[in-house]
Chain A
Amino acid sequence: MKRRSFIYLSALSTLSFSSFIYADENQSLDPWRAVTVDEVINAFYGKRKIIDGKGKIVLIAPKLASNSGAIPITIRSDIETKRILVLQDSTTFSLIGIFDVPKDALVDYMLKTKTEASALRIVILLESTNGKIYKIDKSIEVAMGGGCEG
């Protein structure tokens, strides 16, 4: 009986220790070096609930981008925002940039990204001042021959 409980306890401790290491790995993952969108989300927010941002965030990007070196992305929202993450899934690393939204700023930003792929998905994560996280995405086709010079 003693032997059985010892095995049970040691198995349990190994399991919890490995899960501790995994959690620590996730926390220490550098979001700038994260390859996938999910890795970036995990690095920033772990397992926090992410709300669908449809109707709350406006993401304007062309369906077909003519120049892969400068694809315009516009983000608008009425939510009081603390931070906005702009991600894509076609390049080596996923993160395009982070807007730290100051007080009294309106969420109305435009930037241009670049890619070498023929299609990409833009993902926007908006963190509100009350801690809620909203997500919205849009797929973009890139015209062949557009060229990524940058």
Chain B
Amino acid sequence: MNSKARMKLKIKDKVLSVKFQLKHKMLSLKDAKRKQLAMDYITHIVVKSGSRVLFEFQPSMFVSKNPIFKFKVKQKELKLNDVLEITWTSYLGKTERFSKIIERVE
């Protein structure tokens, strides 16, 4: 995965389905000790469209490396060319963002 994240979006039958993957080592306490690195994992993930929160998750250090998530929300006001933005914060305090446009509505 070259990019820091990737995301697939699909609106079908008035439901938005999202699958996304974040690029992160998700180093747990044990892994960090073993690799002699600082413990670092994602502690908060939010997916938004404008001000509407679509997905919110607080992972622990026991979520897999380069974590993948799937979720579904009702379409409501979401339409073609709307932007979805993922924001994630790590244990070491680094915040990153990734956004994608809804390109297809079936």
Measured CB to CB, the residues of A under 8 A from B are 32, 69-71, 74, 88, 91-93, 95-102, 104-106, 108-116, 149-150
Q: Contacts A105-B71, A106-B74, A150-B25 given; indicate if A99 touches B63 (C-beta within 8 A).
A: no
Contact residues in A for B60 (Cβ distance below 8 Å):
32, 93, 95-97
Contact residues in B for A115 (Cβ distance below 8 Å):
62
> Considering only CB atoms, which chain B residue lies closest to A99 in the complex?
B57
Contact residues in A for B55 (Cβ distance below 8 Å):
102, 105
Nearest chain A CB to B11's CB is how many angstroms away?
13
Is B83 interfacial (CB-CB < 8 Å)? no
Which residue of A100, A101, A111 is within 8 Å of B63 (Cβ)? A111
Residues 51 to 65 of chain B near chain A (Cβ within 8 Å): 52-65
- Count contacts on B: residues with CB < 8 A to the other chain: 32
Main secondary structure of the interface of A (DSSP, over half): strand
Is B68 interfacial (CB-CB < 8 Å)? yes
With A and B bound together, what is the CA distance between A69 and B31 in angstroms? 12
Is B94 interfacial (CB-CB < 8 Å)? no
3 residue pairs, one from A and one from B, having the closest CB atoms: A150-B65, A110-B70, A112-B64
With A and B bound together, what is the CA distance between A69 and B28 in angstroms? 12
> Considering only CB atoms, which chain B residue lies closest to A74 in the complex?
B70
Give the residue among B19, B60, B67, B68 with the most A Cβ atoms within 10 A: B60
The reply to whether A112 and B31 contact each other, CB–CB distance below 8 Å, is no
The reply to whether B64 and A150 contact each other, CB–CB distance below 8 Å, is yes
Nearest chain A CB to B31's CB is how many angstroms away?
7
The reply to whether A92 and B72 contact each other, CB–CB distance below 8 Å, is no
The reply to whether A110 and B64 contact each other, CB–CB distance below 8 Å, is no
With A and B bound together, what is the CA distance between A104 and B49 in angstroms? 13
Interface string of B77-101 (1 = CB under 8 A from A): 0000000000000000000000000
The reply to whether A102 and B56 contact each other, CB–CB distance below 8 Å, is yes
Q: Contacts A106-B72, A108-B71 given; indicate if A69 touches B62 (C-beta within 8 A).
A: no
With A and B bound together, what is the CA distance between A69 and B67 in angstroms? 10
